[in-house]
Amino acid sequence: MSLSIGVDVGGTKIAAGVVDEEGNVLEALRRSSPAKERAAIIDMIVAVTAELAARHKTASVGIGAAGFVSSDRSTIAHGTNLDWTGLNLGQAVSGRVDLPVVVENDANAFGWAEARFGAARGKKNALIVAIGTGVGGALVVDGRLVRGAAGFAAEVGHITSVPGGRPCGCGRRGCLERYASGTALGVNGWELAQFRPAYAARIIELSGGDSSHIKGEAITAAAREGDPAALQCYDDLAGHLGRGLADLCAVLDPEVIVIAGGLAEAGDILLAPTREVFHTEITARRARPEIPVVLAEGGQYAGLVGAADLARQV
């Protein structure tokens, strides 16, 4: 059985694991990420890869990395939260571990794991949307991951949700991730705390009493208690997310939409209003087969599992 190493590189942690052909993680490691230092990040990736390779006979390495990954599946064309724009990450790692290395966008890696082994398994056409600090996506068509001409396909967080709206880190304004991410949830709570503090009292309380530093975790906790202000924050987010998904389906027509990422942990608090808006806004809703919107199943290792499986297929 062919084994591959998957590495999931985040802003605060690096997770790596040995993955078999069925998507099982045979051994996993987790290390804090030196996110601000390019050389230190490479050193850490090499270290965890070498440690796993010393204990398992592996044939390849897949790295899931935040940012725009070129079609060569090795170069970071544009880094987002990490300092590695222009870095040929695959080459930098492969030369030190003596294994072939494939680099994938982290959302593509996560999405592939869901398509192969998770909530979209058995489906040939799937849209996977990862909602965390930002909004990322992966698209599977006819059973194949769609990367696009330059390697930048499925950056769904950067479709326009509000023309001329909130500024986005990509340089544009009004992108979906500025209204439908974990960061956006915090902004929704902050606005309520500034302008309707009595209404947002529970959110402020759970944020340590500081209305200027509203935490998304506090909003989720308050929403689970049934707090109306917190539920409104989620409803506002779900409105943008549901409409965005409906717009994407007008072009992509998937069999299933999988919601992944940290915000998915809110469960029905997020899913119920999102589904309601989505089913109202989608085109030809009475004529087309239902497109279910479901939660991801891959868990904490989905990113490294997807990266490892994609590397195995090269």
Instruction: Return the CATH class of domain 4-112+300-312.
Output: alpha beta
294 has pLDDT over 80: yes
pTM confidence score: 0.91
Structural domain boundaries of the chain?
4-112+300-312, 123-296
pLDDT (tens digit per residue) in 162-171: 999 999 988 8
Question: Are the CB atoms for 82 and 66 separated by under 8 Å?
Answer: yes
Q: How far is residue 261 from each of residues 186, 234, 266, 301, measured CA to CA in Å?
A: 16, 15, 10, 12
Pairwise pLDDT comparison (80 vs 93), residue with the higher score: 93
d(CA 93, CA 89): 6
Residues with Cβ within 8 Å of 43's Cβ and at least 6 positions away in sequence, in order, are: none
Pairwise pLDDT comparison (80 vs 204), residue with the higher score: 204
82 has pLDDT over 90: no
Instruction: Return the CATH class of domain 123-296.
Output: alpha beta
pLDDT (tens digit per residue) in 88-116: 999 999 989 999 999 999 999 999 999 99
H helices present in 7-153, as ranges: 38-55, 89-97, 106-117
d(CA 167, CA 169): 7
pLDDT (tens digit per residue) in 19-63: 999 999 999 999 987 767 788 889 999 999 999 999 999 999 999
Tell me if 4-112+300-312 shares its fold with 123-296.
Answer: yes
